[in-house]
A and B are shown apart, each in its own frame.
Chain A
Amino acid sequence: GENVEQHPSTLSVQEGDSAVIKCTYSDSASNYFPWYKQELGKRPQLIIDIRSNVGEKKDQRIAVTLNKTAKHFSLHITETQPEDSAVYFCAAGSSGAGSYQLTFGKGTKLSVIP
């Protein structure tokens, strides 16, 4: 089955700096890569996703890059703000039986220091 590795497990940055979280996956059949943000005690919420037919996607201060050859993808947050502090999860999905089987990484706890 799919295996998703996520690094680092914790990340502290100064407000205004950039944060980068990296993930690798093992199944070359994976073609959908979402990123979720989970604030303490709350549900995971999708912040951005990318499909394997593109290499980069950007949404305001958040961007995701995908390297299919190397089987890794990264989340980039620029101009970080205290409200960006949360746990971020990457996931890799492969389609099957009409839906996606998502495998999650173990998460990165991001702390933005004011």
Chain B
Amino acid sequence: EAGVVQSPRYKIIEKKQPVAFWCNPISGHNTLYWYRQNLGQGPELLIRYENEEAVDDSQLPKDRFSAERLKGVDSTLKIQPAELGDSAVYLCASSLGGYGRLVEAFFGQGTRLTVV
């Protein structure tokens, strides 16, 4: 079974440019998370989806970040315009979700963003 797939693996852009990341969760996983991981830090939640609904986006900087999960499967995370401080690894994770169900979150390989 394929795990969580993210693309691209690496991205280098100039500041003020837009960038988008894509995530394909494990088949059948209802919950999808986007995390940002700065160097030497733990993952920080940006947004959590239950199917196509964003149930927790309180940590998403909405002035420049946006996300969508159309049809409740794949998801994209966009930054426009990017700033130097956005340089980080963006991790996508998915889990089955649902009370009483396995809640392990499986992570993708991440997209390492460098803003220059």
Contact = CB atoms under 8 A, between A and B. Distances in A.
Interface of A: 1, 6, 32, 34, 36, 42-46, 49, 89, 91, 93, 95-107
Contacts of B42: 6, 89, 91, 104-107
B97 to A, nearest CB: 4
A16 B31 CA distance: 39
Contact of A89 (B30, B43, B95, B109): B43
A102 B45 CA distance: 8
B48 A98 contact: no
B103 A107 contact: no
A46 B95 CA distance: 12
Contacts of A93: 103
A89 B93 CA distance: 15
B50 A46 contact: no
Contacts, number: 69
Contacts of A45: 107
A100 B43 CA distance: 15
B43 A99 contact: no
B63 interface: no
Given A43-B91, A45-B107, A104-B44, 8 more contacts: A43-B107, A43-B109, A46-B104, A93-B103, A96-B56, A99-B31, A99-B50, A106-B40
A50 B50 CA distance: 23
B108 A100 contact: no
Nearest to A4: B42
B18 interface: no
A45 to B, nearest CB: 7
B41 A106 contact: yes
Contact of A44 (B50, B56, B107): B107
B75 to A, nearest CB: 14
A112 to B, nearest CB: 19
Contact of A99 (B35, B40, B48, B106): B48
B88 to A, nearest CB: 14
B105 interface: yes
A99 B104 contact: no
The 9 closest A-B pairs by CB, nearest first: A104-B42, A99-B97, A99-B31, A97-B55, A43-B107, A100-B103, A106-B42, A44-B107, A107-B42
